[in-house]
């Protein structure tokens, strides 16, 4: 894990997880939400892509039409948005507010474009990049998922190479975690967020 430690703030900060498709962001986040269900809450993103097998509307994503999403972006209803492989993705302000209303630290999963968008806002989240140990390992994970066509898989691999380079840019991420072993990576993620978990518990005990 590489620590580009950001300046501490008075209270717990939101968390942004980023990394290429297949790096293990969702798996790590689900483990975090299970262990710290009274601390963290995931904001549910919007997307124009179709649900994958087993995904649920409102839980994994808010599945909407391109027209609905474009209208929301134009109205300023989104914190960040991006387009990949012909599909739009984004985090709405309402989704973030839903998590905050439950008195939880908001965790968002976004791509490179999303990270750059959030950098331009007044939010100061903890930025965590989850990366695979190599492009070969990532390709195997994506193929094992069997959720993409060969064309989509190649697009994801191409984007992943750019993402892996992006993660090395100075000052972009506070933590860089290489997900070679899931339990080790999860231990690093918990350690990265330990300060915010402690702050959150202290604030809620005192209140």
Out of 2, 52, 66, 124, which one is annotated catalytic? Answer: 52
Q: In this predicted model, what pLDDT tens digit does every residue of 184-204 receive, in sequence order?
A: 999 999 999 999 999 888 888
Helix (H) or strand (E) holding 110: strand 105-110
Residue 145 a catalytic site member: yes
Question: How far apart, in Å, are the Cα atoms of 68 and each of 44, 47, 71, 116, 118?
Answer: 16, 10, 5, 23, 21
CA angle 53, 156, 190 (to 5 degrees): 75
Q: How far is CA 173 from the centre of its chain?
A: 12
Please tell me the distance from the alpha carbon of residue 96 to that of residue 115, in angstroms, as a whole number.
15
The answer to whether 133 and 178 have CB atoms below 8 angstroms apart is yes
Maximum alpha-carbon separation in the chain? 54
| pLDDT for res 12 | 73
| pLDDT for res 123 | 80
Q: What is the pTM of this model?
A: 0.82
Out of 13, 42, 108, 156, which one is annotated catalytic? Answer: 156
CATH class of 2-43+104-206: alpha beta
Out of 2, 66, 143, 145, which one is annotated catalytic? Answer: 145
Residue 170's pLDDT band, with cuts at 50, 70 and 90, is very high
| pLDDT for res 206 | 61
Q: In this predicted model, what pLDDT tens digit does every residue of 77-134 receive, in sequence order?
A: 998 898 887 899 999 989 988 898 888 999 998 888 889 988 888 788 999 999 999 9
| pLDDT for res 101 | 85
Q: In this predicted model, what pLDDT tens digit does every residue of 18-64 receive, in sequence order?
A: 999 899 998 999 999 999 999 999 999 999 999 988 999 998 899 99
Q: Which residues contact 189 (CB under 8 A, 6 or more apart)?
A: 28, 32, 128, 130, 175, 177
Residue 207's pLDDT band, with cuts at 50, 70 and 90, is low
Please tell me the distance from the alpha carbon of residue 204 to that of residue 19, in angstroms, as a whole number.
31
* Helices (H), ranges, the chain: 25-35, 66-74, 93-101, 112-119, 135-145, 150-166, 182-206
Residues pairing with 129 in the sheet: 18, 176
Q: Which residues contact 147 (CB under 8 A, 6 or more apart)?
A: 52, 53
Residue 141 a catalytic site member: no
Residue 13 a catalytic site member: no
């Amino acid at each position: 894990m590489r620590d580009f430690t950001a300046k501490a703030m008075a209270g717990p900060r939101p968390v942004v997880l980023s990394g290429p498709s297949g790096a293990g962001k969702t798996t790590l986040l689900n483990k975090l939400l299970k262990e710290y269900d009274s601390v963290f809450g995931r904001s549910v993103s919007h997307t124009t892509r179709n649900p994958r097998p087993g995904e649920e509307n409102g839980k994994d994503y808010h599945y909407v039409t391109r027209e609905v999403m474009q209208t929301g972006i134009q109205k300023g209803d989104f914190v960040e948005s991006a387009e990949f492989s012909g599909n739009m993705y984004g985090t709405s302000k309402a989704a973030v507010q839903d998590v905050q209303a439950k008195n939880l630290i908001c965790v968002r999963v976004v791509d490179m474009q999303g990270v750059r968008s959030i950098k331009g806002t007044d939010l100061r989240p903890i930025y965590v990049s989850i990366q695979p140990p190599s492009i070969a390992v990532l390709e195997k994970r994506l193929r094992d998922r069997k959720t993409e066509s060969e064309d989509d898989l190649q697009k994801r691999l191409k984007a992943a190479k750019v993402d892996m380079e992006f993660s090395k840019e100075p000052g972009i991420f506070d933590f860089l975690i290489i997900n070679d072993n899931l339990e080790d990576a999860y231990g690093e993620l918990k350690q990265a967020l330990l300060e915010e978990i402690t702050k959150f518990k202290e604030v809620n005990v005192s209140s």
